[in-house]
Structure 1
Amino acid sequence: MTAAWITSSGAHPPSPAPDGRPVGVVEVVDLNGLRNIEFGDTEDELTRRGILRSDVDACGPALTGHDAISPIFVDDRLVLLWLDDATRTPQGITTGIPIEEVRARFPSARELDAPQGMHRFDGLIARQGDRAYLFLHDGYAVRKIIAGYADWAQRLFHEGHSPC
């Protein structure tokens, strides 16, 4: 595939990031978590492994090598990952995709209506066991994706929290 990319573009493939991933590669977050990061991991464990850092200019702890993903911890446990534009689900859902495609790929997903008078997006929650994807949308396209424990995703939607 790299050879085809070089041949078709006439350019060199992207240089790897410090953690070995090619730059510009969209990361995949599933309902277990992210490569080397699982829901339920503790802040201490992730810090010890060099995956979590708090010395950055961010609104909370950040994941080393995963700038497009914000972790949300409750009682020292990773419960949710707040995804940015450079991430997707294994089903190919990313921000900007039409909400109808989400409904087609997750037919049992449940609609969540944002409270009236609030400047918040409606939601679509696709639950699988105790885990879920929460797709925040404007009625036309996905604007934000949150993955993790279903109860915490639901609570985040109703209480209106963000990673900051």
Structure 2
Amino acid sequence: MTAAWVSGSGAHPPAGEWDGRPVGVVEVVDLNGLRDVEFGDTEDELTRRGILRSDIDACGPSLAGHDTTSPIFVDDRLVLLWLGDSTRTPHGITAGIPVAEVRARFPSAHELDAPQETYRFDGLLARQGDRAYLFLHDGRAVTRIIAGYADWAQRLFHEGHSPC
């Protein structure tokens, strides 16, 4: 099986703007993807539409208009999005929200324990069909959110990938 190709976040926008929107505007990711980016899209499709960029100084391609979100591709298909702090779920969950709120909004979320003696975070996997949110947390608050195909989110957790 092909290992996930993990890419990083891109350059920061000019002061006063974030992805062409005023600072403070939060982007929403659902289990289909982001605006103009869907799970299952190919690298070629996103490049042709001008969304996938490799011309900036980052650890891999980035998504135009989604500079803090890192795409993860497997076999040329978008399988996961490693979300930036300015992105939230439709349920209002962002990095920094208390874990208790995630558990309340996703009562059937599966607890994932980070391996002992590592610097990795524990997780909550909130699965809906073949898609999921993976909420990494420090026991108190969400530190990162990954969204996409559930099997790839769980694999990412167990293998310990990061966006760079």
Q: Structure 1-normalised TM-score?
A: 0.87
Q: CA 1:16 to 1:106, structure 2 compared with 1: closer, same or farther past 3 Å?
A: same
Q: Give the match's secondary structure for 2:136.
A: strand
In structure 1, the residue matched to 2:113 is 113
In structure 1, the residue matched to 2:69 is 69
Q: Give the match's secondary structure for 2:66.
A: coil
CA deviations on 1:11-33 (whole Å, 9 max, x unpaired) are xxxx77675x3443110000000
Q: Which has more helix, going by share of residues? A: 1
Q: Percent identity?
A: 83
**1:36 is aligned with what amino acid?**
D
Q: CA 1:104 to 1:156, structure 2 compared with 1: closer, same or farther past 3 Å?
A: same
How many residue pairs match? The answer is 150
In structure 2, the residue matched to 1:36 is 36
In structure 1, the residue matched to 2:144 is 144
In structure 1, the residue matched to 2:154 is 154
Q: CA 1:18 to 1:99, structure 2 compared with 1: closer, same or farther past 3 Å?
A: closer
In structure 2, the residue matched to 1:123 is 123
**1:43 is aligned with what amino acid?**
E
Q: Give the match's secondary structure for 2:50.
A: coil
Cα distance in structure 1, aligned partners of 2:18 and 2:116: 43
Counterpart mapping for 1:46-57 below 5 A: 46-57=46-57
What stretches of structure 1 of length at least 5 have no aligned partner?
A: 1-14
**2:107 is aligned with what amino acid?**
P
Cα distance in structure 2, aligned partners of 1:26 and 1:68: 11
- Does the 8 Å contact 2:19/2:67 carry over to 1? no
- Does the 8 Å contact 2:71/2:78 carry over to 1? yes
CA deviations on 1:113-146 (whole Å, 9 max, x unpaired) are 0000111000000000000000000000000000
Larger Rg: 1
Query: What's the Cα RMSD here?
Result: 1.5
